[in-house]
Amino acid sequence: MNKAVVVRSTGLVLALVFAAAFAQTPAPTTPASHKKAARAPKPAAPPAAAAIVLRGDHCTVRAFKDLVKQYEAGKQGVITLQPFSTISGLDAVNTGSADIAGSARPAMLDRAEEKSINFYPVAWDALVPITSAKNPVGNITLKQLHDLYLGRLTDWRDLGGEGSINLYGVAGPLDGIEYSTRLLLFHDGDQAVSVPRFYVNTEKLEEAVAIDPHSIGMSTLSGVTANPGVKMLTVEGLGASSTSVADGTYPLYTALYLAARDDDKNHDAVDKFIHYTDTDSAKAILRKHDLVPYAEAPGLIEKQDARVAWVDAHVHPQAATAAATAAGGTPVSAPNATAQALQRVAPTSELTAEAKDRAARANAGKAAKTSGSPTPESAIH
């Protein structure tokens, strides 16, 4: 055999033997001090807050829209806004297709769909009569507003203007603004009224009012304060502002509510948002919209007797005087209205119990005077 071939073969065999031996030799271990630190497991992300649906009347959803934006910007939760109508929002909460309803009126106590819903007052707003900015009239009295709704007042000449009055309203039944206005004027939020022109919601009503110099309708301070196309009328010479609402000098104030059920499927997320509305950052947003945070005007409910008596005295001056005399100075309607308002907002509070007791005593006193029997107080003496 060729000697060179033998050498190359031998070398190849030796190379393979050394390679096999090297492969079986364990790799040198790296000292523990030189090992990279093991990565700590990432903390589990907190569960995302449930997305909730807020459905309700246009004026309330519009008033709270920036509140929702700020809430979402802070990554506290997700809220889907569905502005439509008061009834649609409350009925959706009742059936579970919405989590929260926005309402510019309190609960209607004898309506079955609202019996299981809690109403949480968030802010105070003003109910304001509005007309076109081109209308020269600047003021309306409570008596005129009352007669306007009943079809007894039809001409702007009676208010210092000219031409026939075009009264506008929201078509949806038991609308928040319409209900709260009628509750103050008639003591009945569902009072039948003579309104010839209806619109699907408050925003559409405002659009129509702005282009009709003979128009009049109801909206809210927070809704139209920055709208140059409409004019807010003063009521009995009193202008609506956050200040006149907070101190109760403007008579047509109302609360804006969030309404929800305790057994809602997203109860925790709903409760979180409702509590958020009472924070300092939320209150700052409300003030920017000329709303008064509910907790900042605690005396308005306590002033309900005086307000009702004041409104009654201007709507029915002769009847109010007679009622005051018969009831010893305070119209019976006033304590009744206070008791009803508190029953809607805080049914279990001590203040509500006191108001109900005061209303019962006023009613008993009126009945006793009518029948000639002694009143409970006089019977004691």
Nearest-angstrom CA–CA distance, 230 and 37: 69
Q: Is 90 exposed, middle or buried (CB count within 10 Å of its CB: 0-12, 13-18, 19+)?
A: buried
The length of the chain, given as a count of residues? 381
- Output the pLDDT for position 12: 42
Query: The tokens 């059936």 sit on which residue?
Result: 95
What does the pLDDT average to over 287-307? 94
Over the stretch 255-276, which tens digit does the pLDDT of each residue have? 999 999 999 999 999 999 999 9
Nearest-angstrom CA–CA distance, 193 and 147: 10
Query: The tokens 């305070």 sit on which residue?
Result: 330
Confidence of residue 378 (pLDDT cuts 50, 70, 90): very low
Confidence of residue 50 (pLDDT cuts 50, 70, 90): confident
- Residue 121 in this model has a pLDDT that exceeds 60: yes
Q: Tell which residue, 320, 334, 327, 322, has the closest CA to residue 365.
A: 327
What does the pLDDT average to over 289-317? 94
208, 216 Cβ separation under 8 angstroms = no
- Output the pLDDT for position 43: 63
* Lowest-pLDDT range of 212-221, 224-233, 339-348: 339-348
